[in-house]
Structure 1
């Protein structure tokens, strides 16, 4: 099969299109014919070697965790799926080696769900990691109807999902973003506020009694700012800063594969309550350019690789 691999850590230039053996599947694994994968910041951070010690990488490695495709072969004990099923998933394994930027990927059934019928393969591939991160953060922070929720980096890949999921639960959402993205956030149902110096004062003007939940999706002091505007009994959840838990009694969220949570996202998509924005689509051979586009930080929406 064709796959993107890297044999050493470094910049995007270490990524190569190579021929690799087809993956072996175990009893609780299915072989997925990849139709699309998407780039997440963690992909290029792992490629750079920046997460060694936290995430094990076996070289040469095929990167990528997000996938949408079609089941090509089933394992001995995979009653959930049949050949031909359209699936999507967050195929995170114990080590980075046999990833999704390839024609085929071996995916444990716990990492997959049936693809939303309302999404293309490219759109579906853009969902799993970012969508699950948002969904799990919202759930663990206790977002529910009537609550006021502050979402930091609300126009980003995770943030846009968090805004929509919180709105679907009936929450009032305030989202931080640059002014260029304010109309985008209004379209998602959030009340936009400009990030930067004076953010706490601007949030207080919109929520004089404080916010019930703050979701830190960016770091850069967002937990400290959230503590300034949190209502009594409120909760901070962060995907970047463990002090949300250790110093503020909140939640530190490291996204997990979950079929049930993907099914919940599917229901939101297919009911029209959730949408996904694809910024750019690259061919597999151009994965290095896709990584560079992600690293630039200048795109809104997900970057997808079509296989």
Structure 2
């Protein structure tokens, strides 16, 4: 499995069995090198051209999923499964089982009090956090 991330997040990916590849100019070349030239599936959680990148890498639309770029997905027939698709009793039950066994990791990037909600949203907009941003009561 390959994961796109900035350098500071590579160690975390490696710890979880993911081969890190740095995003930015030349991403397609780096992915091809890391994958040996074959990419079977692509999950996009960012948008901004990653569906097009998946197509450039030769991934079939049926094996592309984006939670952000619905327009590009619609144009090529890719999937748009996101948070809503996972909102089921079966999925929640599995998450609860994983949490009970200590197998579910949800990294927390930082916490904010409710009065700092604007600061929390600015951090989300920068898209360089490792983990969730939490508002604490």
Q: TM-score range by the shorter chain?
A: 0.7 to 0.9
- 1:279 touches 1:301 (CA, 8 Å); kept in 2? yes
Write 1 or 2 for the structure with the bigger share of helix.
Answer: 2
> What is the Cα deviation at residue 220 of structure 1?
1.5
Gaps of 5+ in 1: 1-172
Question: 2: CA distance between counterparts of 1:193 and 1:300?
Answer: 16
Q: What's the counterpart of residue 218 of structure 1? A: 46
Partner of 1:11: none
Q: Could you tell me which runs of 5 or more consecutive residues in structure 2 were left unpaired when the two chains were aligned.
A: none
- Could you say which structure has the larger radius of gyration? 1
**1:83-128: CA deviation from partner (whole Å, max 9, x where unpaired):** xxxxxxxxxxxxxxxxxxxxxxxxxxxxxxxxxxxxxxxxxxxxxx
Secondary structure of 1:279 counterpart: strand
Q: 1:274 aligns with which of 90, 104, 120?
A: 104
Matches within 5 A, 1:41-52: none
Aligned to 1:175: 3
For 1:49, the equivalent position in structure 2 comes to none
Q: Distance in 1 between matches of 2:39 and 2:62?
A: 7
Q: Could you tell me which residue of structure 2 aligns to residue 205 of structure 1?
A: 33
RMSD over aligned CA atoms reads 2.3
How many residues of Structure 1 are paired with residues of Structure 2 in the alignment?
134
State TM-score, norm by structure 2.
0.81
In structure 2, what is the Cα distance between the partners aligned to 1:264 and 1:236?
24
Report how far residue 184 of structure 1 moved: 1.5
Structure with larger RCO (C-alpha < 8 A, sep 6+): 1
Greater strand percent: which structure?
1
Asked if structure 1 preserves the Cα contact closer than 8 Å seen for 2:98 and 2:104, the reply is yes
Q: TM-score, normalised by structure 1?
A: 0.39
Instruction: Determine if contact 1:212/1:234 at 8 Å carries over to the other structure.
Output: no
CA contact (8 A) 2:42 2:59 kept: no
Distance 1:233 1:271 in 2: 35
Q: Distance in 2 between matches of 1:231 and 1:297?
A: 25
